[in-house]
Homo-oligomer: A and B are copies of this chain.
Amino acid sequence: MHLLAAAAPGGDVGAIFLALAAALAAAKLLGELAERIGQPAVLGELIAGLLLGPSMLDLVNPHDPAIHVIAEIGVVILLFQIGLEIDLRKMLGVGGAALTVACVGVAVPFVLGDVVSRVVGLAPLPALVTGAALTATSVGITARVFSDLGRLHDPESQVVLGAAVIDDVIGLIILGVVGGLVGGAELTAGSVLGKTAVAFGFVVGAVVVGRLIVPPLFDVIARVGRASTIGPMALGLMFVTAVLAQVIGLAPIVGAFTAGLVLAPTRHAESCRDGVTRLGHFFVPIFFVVVGAAVDVRTFADGHVLAVGGLITAAAIVGKLFSGYAAFWFPGRKFVVGVGMIPRGEVGLIFAQMGLTAKVLDAGLYAALTLMVMVTTFVTPPALKLLLGPGRAGGDAGGSAELVTEA
């Protein structure tokens, strides 16, 4: 097949291979550079995308169908990995403080973002997408920062991590709802409730049914097959639930996340993690590079974009800081909790990407949202370092952090 390409040198497989080589090398290089200066690796990967994208070096075309699918596989694997890290029971045990911080931390930025957007003159739907993009804290970035500072087991960290995880689930449901609306569904209370019911119903239903069916199924696979059988089967399950979610109108990542939740408590979770970690190292950075490549850097030169981006970023930061004080009975440092909630990552970028692809957001608003993700991601590590003092040598191990930032 590729020999056809060999016969016609410079065919598109060659261009894609070059794009992949550039994306992998630049993501790794800038990711590590970011970490050297105390920033999460994902920031470097985004910048790598900015540099490689059509508006600068033009090596990575985010609209190429194969690159698109590979990036899609990346984000699906990322959410599958996050699902695999989550212990639902333990999450519920962190209790009321985390839940309160999560809910307030979703609601306030959502409303603030929506209001700010309308004030600057956006239509209801773009304003809604912008608000939604402010909701979900990046659990990966947050966990990694606390881990790097050796503070993973502080009470503040526990609340932030619990809240960030709940956040992520709520964010995914909002993603499903808003995704449907962007797709052309009517913006009525009934349709939102309906979407929410379907989204909750799918996640709850898939988790309940999945936990009944999947463990015995994987027990059989493990007994009949070998250790190396579990990985591909878990990937198969991930893809199937992703398609299932898509068929009922949710984002594929919701399905992949659910597949992770289902497999997390089984005795095969470790094999599943093993099976996807290396794949994640390949696919996940490509997703972030593609996300970065979709940013048109020339829009940053636009004063309007910077102004709107600044306002949205302020709404994003104020909203999450406020959420830190929501669990008023929590004895820890509420400001630390608030700061810990600030970074937006995957989900915020996915909203921006979605809005852009569906032409609900224009390039300027997309750039403004990317700016928000970059600033909130960039600002948190030094802020937490300032609040918590110098990190302990070596930091914590940070299992759940590794999957995202090492990726």
Interface of A (DSSP majority class): helix
Query: Is A243's CB under 8 angstroms from B66's CB?
Result: no
A221 to chain B, nearest CB (A): 9
Residues 6 to 62 of chain A near chain B (Cβ within 8 Å): 6-11, 13-14, 16-18, 20-22, 24-25, 27-28, 32
Give residues of chain A (309-359) contacting chain B, Cβ–Cβ below 8 Å.
350, 353-354, 357-358
Verify if A180 is at the interface (C-beta below 8 Å from B): yes
The answer to whether A24 and B182 have CB atoms under 8 Å apart is no
Contact, CB under 8 Å: B358 / A10: no
The verdict on A383 contacting chain B, using a C-beta distance below 8 Å, is no
Most chain B beta-carbon neighbours within 10 Å: one of A6, A176, A179 = A6
Q: Within 8 Å CB of A14, what residues of B?
A: 242-243, 246-247, 252
Q: Mark A354-369, 1 if CB is under 8 A from B, else 0.
A: 1001100000000000
* Docked-complex contact A21 and B239, CB < 8 angstroms: yes
Say yes or no: A232-B24 contact (C-beta < 8 A), given A9-B248, A32-B226, A243-B14. Answer: yes
For chain A, the count of residues having a C-beta within 8 Å of the partner chain is: 81
- Is the beta-carbon distance between A7 and B179 smaller than 8 angstroms? yes
Q: Of the listed stretches A144-152, A277-285, A388-396, name the one at the interface; the rest are far from the partner chain.
A: A277-285
Closest chain B CB from A345 CB (angstroms): 16
Q: How far is the CA of A406 from the CA of B228 in the complex (A)?
A: 8
On chain B, the residues within 8 Å of A216 by CB distance are none
